[in-house]
A and B are shown apart, each in its own frame.
Chain A
Amino acid sequence: MGHWSIIFQEIYRILFLLIPVLVSVALIVWLDRRVWAFVQKRQGPNVVGPFGLLQTLADALKYIFKEIIIPSSSNKVIFILAPIITMTLALIGWAVIPFSATQVLADINVGILYIFAISSLGVYGIIMGGWASNSKYPFLGAIRSAAQMVSYEVSIGVIIINVLLCVGSLNLNDIVISQKNLWYIVPLFPMFVIFFISALAETNRPPFDLPEAEAELVAGYQTEYSGMMYAMFWLGEYANILLMCALGSILFLGGWLSPIDLYPFNLIPGAVWLILKILLLFILFALTKATVPRYRYDQLMRLGWKLFLPLSLIWVVLTASYLFYFNLLPVN
């Protein structure tokens, strides 16, 4: 009986994490559209529910009741697997995100590598969807996004190395705790900017939404998808964006730490601070979407390989030399 109780306990903890994540994905889609509308002096979705909060729920219901169309010349197994993989990968990354010193589903030693691995697997959903559709537009979108995501992963990896040099551990909780005195956004500010832009490219957000550039590729890799399968791509994409925001707030904004270590702020639980920081980053994402025009493909590649990669590599050398010269290297 002992095993079963452990299994039930774990399932309960997983659901306790997953359901809030899914609900917040629904809310974040609404927030995205509201911010976008706010910048353009529109109302945005404001009809369904209070302030239009239930708009995403209504959209999801519409998607559920739509017919799923599978193209007859598509590779059916891979066609169906693609949205499932996108969604699953976007959700399993949350397993290692610490919401406070103790509230974490899996407190593993290599948490940051785990998140990095999961986000580098995210490209498969898009490639599989684009190839299995057996159509030109999805295929072009998939090829573009594969090149884009692989290029920007490189610079994200180097930026993570910068932070890890200062921390001396791959555990996400250790990364948060080591920012107790100073958030890494202060000493590593250029890296934060590069991380933010690379995260936009990694999650295919505007201005880097080339895989689904509607002016050129109809809807890119999602062209042949319909109904719930399209909605799953969409949910996975937003869950990925939230995960990237969470990663950014853990690496640079002190995770669940409160900004001021004083009396009234100490009482607020860490999860609230983390959520506030994720929201802040997400609003920045949404503002970028509303204001910046789409990049051309060669400009995107140039930015990734010729600008971000050398800059972040130079910064690694600088950080390492600084830490070594002033004997600040974390040793344990």
Chain B
Amino acid sequence: MIAHSVFFYLFATIAIFSAILVTVSRNTIHSVFFLILDFISISCLFIMIGAEFLGMIMLIVYVGAVAVLFLFVVMMLNVTEQRNQWFTSVKNSAHIPIGLIVSTIIFFELIIVIGGWKYKPDLFNVSNLIISETTTNTHSLGQIIYTDYIHVFQISGMILLVSMIGAIVLTFRQRTGVKKQSYIKQISRERNEGVQLLEVESNKGVKIDD
């Protein structure tokens, strides 16, 4: 068990420090890399408590896709060097009280949620959750997510779909004057449309654009 707690504190320290460095570091690209490090150490923590499925999904979705897009945007925007002048200048620290209020509210909400979880364990009756040593947590997750939580699961999928369509609608614009390759047009081109065989009399020539 000593090794277990050593690794727990290692990952937890890395997670907390990289989370702090995300906000503190001056270079935006460095912030994104610390965010990635944070995601990775949190997925390590997930794996350590036995939730290996969640840990891996965290790696795939957040590190493999979301953070890549973050990095993409930050690199394209070229906002690499931004000096943080928190608490020193009046102009740049105006947002700090609001930020403090929001983070306090989130902190108390977390306390309420975790406290409620402790005092009311059967908030939702899970009908056929089989917890045993032999079933892997992927299996047990599948057993409840498609039975007891099917509506929540489907609704969250719908919300994601709607937001995706919304983003596409907002950014989509029909550009005119762009040459596009049409595969169907290319393939369906016949010989008699493209080639013309002409008998040419001498000294007369051919008019091409007839």
Instruction: Report A's interface with B, CB cutoff 8 A.
Output: 3, 75, 78, 108-110, 113-114, 116-117, 120-121, 123-124, 127-128, 131, 139, 142-143, 146-147, 150, 153, 157, 169-170, 298, 332
- Given known contacts A143-B75, A170-B138, is B52 in contact with A108 (CB within 8 Å)? yes
Measured between beta carbons, the chain A residues less than 8 angstroms from B52 are 108-110
Identify which of B58-66, B82-90, B157-165, B168-176 touches chain A: B58-66
Residues B135-167 near A (CB distance < 8 A): 136-139
Smallest distance from the beta carbon of B6 to chain A beta carbons, Å? 11
Contacts of A124 in B (CB 8 A): 36, 68
Asked if A123 contacts B60 (CB within 8 A), the reply is no
Q: A109-B138, A110-B138, A131-B75 are in contact. Are A150 and B56 (CB under 8 A)?
A: no
Given A123-B68, A146-B68; A113-B63 close (CB under 8 Å): no
Within 8 A of A (CB), among B108-153: 136-139
Residue B21 at the chain A interface, CB threshold 8 Å: no
- Which of A108, A143, A170 contacts B72 (CB under 8 A)? A143
A contact residues around B138 at 8 Å (CB): 109-110, 170
List the 8 closest A-B pairs by CB distance, nearest first.
A120-B64, A113-B56, A117-B59, A109-B136, A117-B60, A110-B52, A110-B56, A117-B56
Q: Complex formed: what's the CA distance from A258 to B56 in Å?
A: 31
Shortest CB distance A153–B (Å): 7
> Given the complex of chains A and B, what is the CA–CA distance between A180 and B137 in angstroms?
26
CB distance from B176 to the nearest CB of A (A): 18
Which residues on A sit within 8 Å (CB–CB) of B75?
127, 131, 139, 142-143
Please determine whether B136 and A120 come into contact, CB atoms closer than 8 angstroms: no
Nearest opposing residue in chain B for A127, CB measure: B71
B58: nearest chain-A partner, CB-CB: A117
Indicate which residue in A110, A131, A298 contacts B53 across the interface (CB closer than 8 Å). A110
Within 8 A of A (CB), among B31-66: 33, 36, 52-53, 56-57, 59-60, 63-65
Q: A108: nearest residue on chain B (CB-CB)?
A: B52
Contact at A121–B56, with CB atoms within 8 Å?
no
Residues of A near B137 (CB, < 8 A) are 109
Chain B residues with CB under 8 Å of A332's CB are 139
Check A121–B72 contact: CB distance below 8 A.
no
Where chain A touches its partner, the secondary structure class is: helix
Provide the main secondary structure of the chain B interface.
helix
Chain A nearest Cβ from B198, distance in angstroms = 35
Using known A-B contacts A78-B33, A108-B52, A143-B75, determine if residue A113 contacts B68 with beta carbons closer than 8 Å.
no
By a CB distance below 8 angstroms, the chain A residues around B69 are: 150
| Contact for A113 among B53, B76, B139, CB less than 8 A | B53
Q: Which residues of B approach A to under 8 Å, CB–CB?
A: 3, 29, 33, 36, 52-53, 56-57, 59-60, 63-65, 68-69, 71-72, 75-76, 136-139, 181
Known: A108-B52, A128-B33. 15 other contacts (CB 8 A): A75-B29, A78-B33, A110-B52, A113-B57, A117-B59, A117-B64, A121-B63, A124-B68, A142-B75, A143-B72, A146-B72, A150-B69, A153-B64, A157-B60, A170-B136
The answer to whether A121 and B64 have CB atoms under 8 Å apart is yes
The CA of A127 and the CA of B76, in the complex, are separated in Å by 12
Q: How far is the CA of A131 from the CA of B29 in the complex (A)?
A: 10
Q: List 8 A-B contacts (CB under 8 A).
A: A109-B52, A120-B60, A121-B63, A124-B36, A127-B72, A131-B29, A150-B68, A157-B60
What distance in Å separates the Cβ of A233 from its nearest Cβ neighbour in chain B? 18
A127–B68 contact, CB under 8 A? yes
Q: Give every chain A residue within 8 A of B3 (Cβ-Cβ).
A: 3
Choose one: B36, B56, B64, B71; the contact of A114 (CB below 8 Å): B56
Query: Complex: how many Å from CA A153 to CA B69?
Result: 14
Residues of chain A with a CB closer than 8 A to B56's CB: 110, 113-114, 116-117
Complex CA distance for A76 and B65, rounded to whole angstroms? 25
CA A142 to CA B63, docked complex, whole Å: 17
Shortest Cβ gap from B71 to chain A (Å): 6
Give CA–CA (A3, B6) in the complex, Å.
Answer: 14
| Complex contact A121–B59 (CB within 8 A) | yes
Taking CB atoms, residues of chain B closer than 8 Å to A143 are 72, 75-76
Contacts of A146 in B (CB 8 A): 68, 71-72
B169 to chain A, nearest CB (A): 18
Interchain CB contact under 8 A, B29 and A120: no
Taken together as a complex, chains A and B put the C-alpha atoms of A127 and B59 apart, in Å, by 17
In the assembled complex, the Cα of A143 lies from the Cα of B60 at a distance in Å of 19
Nearest-CB residue, chain A, relative to B59: A117
With a CB–CB cut-off of 8 A, which chain A residues contact B60? 113, 116-117, 120, 157
- Compute how far the CA of A298 lies from the CA of B139 in the bound complex, rounded to whole angstroms: 40
Residues of A within 8 A of B29 (CB): 75, 78, 131
